[in-house]
Amino acid sequence: MNINDKSQITTYQASEQRYDKMTYNRSGKSGVLLPALSLGLWHNFGFVDNIQNGRDILRCAFDHGITHFDLANNYGPPYGSAEENFGTIFKKDFKPYRDELFIASKAGYDMWPGPYGNYGSRKYLIASIDQSLKRMGLDYVDIFYHHRPDPETPLEETMGALADIVRQGKALYVGISNYQPKETHEAAEILKHLNVPFILHQARYSMFDRWVEGGLLNTLNKNGVGCIAFSPLAQGMLTDKYINGIPEGSRASKSMGHLNEDAVYQNIEKIKKLSEMAKSRGQKLSQMAIAWILRQPQVASVLIGASSAKQLKENVIALDNLVFTEEELQMIDAILN
Ligand SMILES: NC(=O)c1ccc[n+]([C@@H]2O[C@H](COP(=O)([O-])OP(=O)(O)OC[C@H]3O[C@@H](n4cnc5c(N)ncnc54)[C@H](OP(=O)(O)O)[C@@H]3O)[C@@H](O)[C@H]2O)c1
């Protein structure tokens, strides 16, 4: 479907109720409030995907108070295409709402050929933010992240590049992603010294991957930095979708190398037990999985993906029940162990 086809153009008017139900949490000790749920564009927004479906998901998100959209230079496929599609949709639907949105991009993984399109050099980061802004048609992003640590580049160089990106007005805040606690603390020290607002660490966190509990959340707390948790549904495993097998078109059915069928089969008994437990709380598994992450005070937002507006609507309902009894938490631990 071509979004530029005149028959596809409908004027978007955001819901007047968009702020009625969403919760907003402060990111660390910053001035930024993030929606408890944010939307990531890693999958389902590339040139290989249906842009009208992506547009429906973005509209649905904003209509439910999801003000934070997360992108990266290499989201697609192909690389760059999620930002380009987002730019097309932004121009048609969201331009009047720019100041109500918190938009992220990142650089750190493989993006273009040669020695300057990967990892953490100043050369890469500064070229990449310029490319991202062009693709999205934005003057600035709200937050720019270094996407993963670079073992070879001095941290001072990478953090210095983030600082200059803020000074150039191309990003308002900076973040890091996939850094271990020690590197996170070092980055925080450098950024403090450079007087740059470091407000978020983006980390994988779900019932199936609890590594952040082993020190990262404490480090963030000590440094006044918030956490945004990605892949909270373990890429779809923590939903009811795989309980009766692998549906066609699901992420595990595709050979993209991110989630595979083996991972689903290895976890299926846990998934079934967790789903039963969610039912006893009056929730779907996806909703319980999201609520469980939000029990951590350091987590400002849970960063979900969705392949349809229907999934997104189901996930937003998680916010209706965020409370766990001690007994429920112990039951979850027992299932996971
Ligand atoms: N910083 C990093 O290194 C990094 C890495 C990964 C992700 N991220 C960010 O985190 C975002 C979210 O990651 P993710 O997509 O892996 O998150 P996720 O929320 O764990 O998984 C999303 C997938 O789960 C399935 N799903 C979602 N809701 C569902 C529901 N109610 N019922 C059934 N299935 C449902 C859909 O898969 P189907 O396609 O199977 O329907 C959806 O695409 C990304 O878009 C990106 O912005 C960052």
Ligand 1 mutation pick, 240, 311, 312, 317, max ligand atoms within 8 A of CB: 311
Contact in structure between 146 and 171 (CB atoms under 8 Å)? no
Task: Name the residue of 106, 237, 241, 293 to mutate for ligand 1: max ligand atoms within 8 A of Cβ.
Answer: 241
Nearest CA to ligand 1 atom 19: 304
Q: What is the pTM of this model?
A: 0.97
Residue 91 alpha carbon to ligand 1 centre in Å:
25
Tell me if 165 sits within 8 A of 191, measured CB to CB: no
Residue 117, both tokens? 């399109």
SS3 83: helix
- How far apart are the CA of 7 and the centre of ligand 1, in A? 30
Quickly list DSSP for 253-267.
GS-SSSS-HHHHHHH
CA end-to-end distance (rounded Å), the chain: 46
CA 196 to chain centre: 22
Cα-to-centroid distance, 102 and ligand 1 (Å): 19
Atom of ligand 1 nearest to the CA of 315: 31
Residue 120 and residue 105: Cα distance in Å, rounded?
14
Yes or no: domain 19-336 corresponds to CATH 3.20.20.100: yes
Q: What is the pLDDT of residue 263?
A: 94
Ligand 1 pocket check: which of 208, 274, 275, 303 to mutate, most ligand atoms within 8 Å of Cβ? 303
State in Å: Cα 241 to ligand 1 middle.
13
CA of 199 to the centre of ligand 1 (A): 22
Q: Give me the phi and psi of 136, to 5 degrees please.
A: -90, -10
* Structure-token pair, residue 187: 């980055």
User: What's the gap in Å between 41 CA and the centre of ligand 1?
Assistant: 9
Interatomic CA distance for residues 284 and 289, integer angstroms: 9
Domain ranges of the chain: 19-336
Residues with CB under 6 A from ligand 1: 40-43, 70, 147, 177-178, 202, 230-236, 239, 241, 250-251, 286, 303-307, 311, 314-315
**Confidence (pLDDT) at 255:** 72
What's residue 43's pLDDT?
97
Task: Tell the residue nearest (CA) to atom 15 of ligand 1.
Answer: 305
Ligand 1, atom nearest to 148 Cα: 3
Report residue 229 as tokens: 């948790």
- Closest among 198, 202, 209 to 230, alpha carbons compared: 202
Whose C-alpha lies nearest to ligand 1, atom 5? 230
Residue 117 is given by DSSP the state S
Contact 214, 190 (CB under 8 A): no
Alpha carbon separation from 304 to 4, 123, 166, 182, 189 (Å, rounded): 28, 31, 26, 26, 30
Ligand 1 center–CA 3 separation, angstroms: 24
Tens place of pLDDT for every residue, the chain, 337 residues? 566 665 555 799 999 999 999 999 999 999 999 999 999 999 999 999 999 999 999 999 999 999 999 999 999 999 999 999 999 999 999 999 999 999 999 999 999 999 999 999 999 999 999 999 999 999 999 999 999 999 999 999 999 999 999 999 999 999 999 999 999 999 999 999 999 999 999 999 999 999 999 999 999 999 999 999 999 999 999 999 999 999 999 999 987 778 999 999 999 999 999 999 999 999 999 999 999 999 999 999 999 999 999 999 999 999 999 999 999 999 999 999 9
DSSP 320: G
d(CA 175, CA 100): 20
CA 49 – CA 53 distance, rounded (Å): 8
Q: What is the pLDDT of residue 9?
A: 58
Q: Whose CA is nearest to atom 43 of ligand 1?
A: 306
